[in-house]
């Protein structure tokens, strides 16, 4: 049976990625979890949340995006130069071109406004993202 590969991406402080990591580990304990931060702080926070396979930087985003079945990331990870310039064009292209199912979490502080999406708070957004990952995982793995 295929072991689902889930990539968690984050930038800046890595708080969202750490929240996702903690929740997804309990919901999908058999999944292969990877975390990549655009910087060392984001990566360290996801590592402290229990992810063993962690890396930092542009090339890690590119390589891991091509290996994932599911990517969970802030919306800004598909927008070049977003998140105060931490997301490079190469990162955004890798995430948006990946064959993985992308679960994008909208942040209302990153200059990307999605009409029709309500600000329900980060915790609720993370809960929704994890539930969607569980659904997709079941569909992919049977």
What are 104's two structure tokens?
A: 């994008």
Determine the angle formed by the axes of helices 40-48 and 15-27, rounding to 10 degrees: 30
The predicted-structure confidence for 30-88, as pLDDT tens digits, reads as follows 999 999 999 999 999 999 999 999 999 999 999 999 999 999 999 999 999 999 999 99
Q: What is the pLDDT of residue 1?
A: 57
Give which of 41, 43, 38, 48 is closest to 11, Cα–Cα.
Answer: 38
Alpha helices in 1-142 (DSSP H): 15-27, 40-48, 58-67, 89-97, 122-141
Print the domain residue range for 93: 5-141
Give which of 13, 43, 6, 38 is closest to 122, Cα–Cα.
Answer: 13
pTM score: 0.94
Q: What is the distance between the alpha carbons of residues 64 and 29, in angstroms, rounded to a whole number? A: 20
Residue 102 is part of a domain; what is its CATH number? Answer: 3.40.50.720
Q: What is the distance between the alpha carbons of residues 70 and 7, in angstroms, rounded to a whole number? A: 6
Q: What is the distance between the alpha carbons of residues 50 and 42, in angstroms, rounded to a whole number? A: 13
Q: What is the pLDDT of residue 110?
A: 63
Give which of 66, 42, 64 is closest to 53, Cα–Cα.
Answer: 64
Q: What is the distance between the alpha carbons of residues 67 and 113, in angstroms, rounded to a whole number? A: 29
The predicted-structure confidence for 103-132, as pLDDT tens digits, reads as follows 999 876 567 778 887 778 889 999 999 999
As for how many domains the chain has, the answer is: 1
- Tell me, rounded to whole angstroms, the distance of Cα 41 from its chain centroid: 15
């Amino acid at each position: 049976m295929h072991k689902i590969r889930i990539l968690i991406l984050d930038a800046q402080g890595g708080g969202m990625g750490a929240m996702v990591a903690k929740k997804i580990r309990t919901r999908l304990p058999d999944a292969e979890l990877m975390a990549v931060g655009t910087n060392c702080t984001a990566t360290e926070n996801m590592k402290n949340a229990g992810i063993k396979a962690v890396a930092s930087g542009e090339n890690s985003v590119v390589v891991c995006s091509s290996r994932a079945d599911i990517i969970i990331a802030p919306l800004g990870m598909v927008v070049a130069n977003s998140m105060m310039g931490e997301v490079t064009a190469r990162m955004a292209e890798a995430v948006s071109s990946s064959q993985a199912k992308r679960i994008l979490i909208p942040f209302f502080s990153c200059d990307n406004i999605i009409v029709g999406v309500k600000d329900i708070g980060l915790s609720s957004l993370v809960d929704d993202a994890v539930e969607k990952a569980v659904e997709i995982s079941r569909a992919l793995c049977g």
